[in-house]
A and B are shown apart, each in its own frame.
Chain A
């Protein structure tokens, strides 16, 4: 129980260090969150943003799943919409869906689509073999074109899910991070 100023300073310094450690921990949580999501599969980010091999391409004709497509452009700059709002698919069969994209700005732009699947539990069973969302898309001024995604719904999809939604949010890469 020393009340010497030196003892106080030493303990105070250690506590300041602890506070600095907490501050660093807050930032460390950012990569840790990614790791956590990857390990536990929360959000299925890896599954969503990378191409995956489709294995076992034998369609299960007895089962039909409805896939809904939607697209939003939160900050504007493009029109993006699916050619067909829904598609009836058999698990295990390869399909292609097309989206129509039109740049609305009179200049060259680059967009990036960020996909998500709902319900979240279905994400790991939605296998994209090719997708315009894997790479940034360059557009000339006012260019209009089609964007394609090829996918298989894995046969492991839980049987109580008969409808899932593939949604894209489309962002301007050059303005990313700006609100």
Chain B
């Protein structure tokens, strides 16, 4: 994507040349590109850690990693994938697409935009540097439960500070998105005319501002508990370790919606385009996102049923959690209804969106199973949970992100990409992701605990299948990179509309999108 911008140097005041452009840019498209490239890089770093996890689990016994290093792998895999890959990728898309979707010239706060990207880089590098520290990287799980996490070695304060930096970065990104959407819409672009991707990000941004600081506070308490003799979570000083779990999941549950709502927005753009029909029930889609966001604040304790809580609490959190299935069901229904009697074609973005629809729903159903308190007692901390959240995150969020890249890539680069290779990438990913994660349901139901480097022999077969799926899925992503690189370097010229049934302002500007768009607000009908 980087080279793409060279084509539009003829714009009346183009960017500076070379590396300086990328270090100093405040252009929303450049920053979007930086975010996307960086998140792809982190996707491979996090994927590399997953590769090592699955290699160790390929067969029972300890082969490659000692248990502490294994725990570092699981912890860092989660932190990097969440804070370094998925969230920055959605922010990158927001930077690129939101101004173009609402007819704004740029993001509202371009310098803060620049700052938040470089904070993310600093935070990620700091997090990665913990691998080199005495005592190793954090190994207590990404949920960082005390008192275990307090046993982290020298890297403990660095990991916390890295989280502070990445959290501050995403809060700034969120503020920028809200100000842009609220203040910069072209005249006539009323809230209920906004594309659903923009809508999903507006709500995501509010979630980020509401919960990210709570998380920052909770990890700060961990820091003071360890170094400044406070006792927020230490029982000996009158604290309560369970309090941390409440604080963490008060952040953690909205956090999973922060990763999925933009994916909902993407799918709501892609499915209408390739069904050649407007989205079914636009307003219902908006209200569904808003209700999911609201419900995300009152279900956190379903992550911690086993710590013990009164029956009334268990009932409340169980039923509130199940309630989320209602707005989510509305969305699934509306996407399906959009396709009903549509004129469907199956270009790569549509393939990924359809796989999302199908596989995310599987993840949703296993989520419903986990919501049932007595069942959760059985499934808690097993591979069933691992299967569940990977189904909603990988064929959920990540597939939607890939759909977005394949959807907008011609707009970014000005070239059509290699459809055959992209479809090959889709089919390889779709098959291997199921080989990878579906057997983990069986492992979990059979009782295999998560976060262990070794396991009983009875789990051997499905673990081997899962590992083969992991290697296949990981290697398939190299094809993704190749399709992108090839598309950036050249290809068939893309038209302004790119697709047969383009819908929305971003398709009214030429491809590649000029360095500056909508300096004069477009007319909205």
Which residues from chain A sit less than 8 Å from chain B, CB to CB?
1-3, 7-8, 11-12, 15-16, 18-27, 29-30, 33, 40-43, 74-75, 112, 114, 120-121, 169, 171-173, 175-179
Contacts and interface: CB of A to CB of B under 8 A. Distances in A.
Given A19-B212, A22-B214, 7 more contacts: A3-B183, A16-B175, A18-B210, A23-B217, A27-B221, A177-B229, A177-B237
A57 B59 CA distance: 63
Top 7 A-B pairs, shortest CB-CB distance: A26-B217, A171-B236, A23-B213, A22-B213, A26-B214, A176-B237, A179-B150
Contacts of A177: 225, 229-231, 234, 236-237
A30 B243 contact: yes
Nearest to B224: A177
Interface of B: 104, 108-109, 112, 147, 150-151, 171, 174-176, 178-179, 182-187, 209-218, 221, 225-226, 229-232, 234-237, 240, 243, 246-247, 250, 308-310, 313
A22 B209 contact: yes
B236 A112 contact: yes
Given A8-B183, A42-B309, A179-B147, A20 B232 contact: no
A138 B194 CA distance: 68
Contacts of A24: 217
Contacts of B174: 15
B235 A114 contact: yes
27 contacts: A2-B183, A8-B109, A8-B183, A12-B108, A12-B109, A18-B210, A22-B209, A23-B214, A25-B213, A25-B214, A26-B215, A26-B217, A27-B217, A27-B221, A33-B246, A42-B309, A43-B240, A114-B235, A121-B310, A176-B229, A176-B231, A176-B234, A176-B237, A178-B229, A179-B147, A179-B225, A179-B226
A37 B112 CA distance: 41
A120 B230 CA distance: 27
A48 to B, nearest CB: 12
Contacts of A120: 308, 310
A176 B236 contact: yes
A24 B214 CA distance: 8
Nearest to B185: A1
Contacts of A23: 213-214, 216-217
A172 B221 CA distance: 21
A3 B104 contact: yes
Nearest to A29: B247
Given A26-B214, A30-B232, A18 B150 contact: no
A1 B187 contact: yes
A176 B147 CA distance: 13
Contacts of A176: 229, 231, 234, 236-237
A105 to B, nearest CB: 16
